[in-house]
Amino acid sequence: MNVTAGTYESSDCLIRLSPSTTRKVIVESIVFDQFGDAIQRVLNDTLDQYGVSAVQVECFDKGALDYTVRARLITALKRGGYIE
């Protein structure tokens, strides 16, 4: 089953994790042009930090700052049992 964390409220983002054999990071953002790369980096850095590689991460961003993206991803990883 998919795991999610976060909401679609302004300044938040929703993270959805699905099973995958490799790491896939997909970002959809209302500010994709300016911040798409930054969001992707935060997601990848966080996954690196926790040593998680086999997962598909979708991020539906509504203008979240880095610490919010990071927090939502960590919450989803914990909910999905990818980390403790």
Residues that bind another protein (CB under 8 A): 1-2, 4-12, 14, 60, 64-68, 70-72, 74-75, 78-79
- Name 32's Cβ contacts closer than 8 Å, sequence gap at least 6: 61
Nearest distance in Å: CB 68, another protein: 4
Nearest distance in Å: CB 71, another protein: 4
Task: Please spell the DSSP secondary structure of 10-68, one letter per residue.
Answer: TT-EEEEEEE-SS-EEEEEETTHHHHHHHHHHHHHHHHHHTT--SEEEEEEESS--HHH
Residue that has been written with the tokens 């049992």 in this structure: 81
Nearer to another protein, 33 or 84 (CB): 84
Would you give the distance in Å from CA 64 to the centre of its chain? 11
Nearer to another protein, 8 or 32 (CB): 8
Nearest distance in Å: CB 78, another protein: 7
Nearer to another protein, 40 or 68 (CB): 68
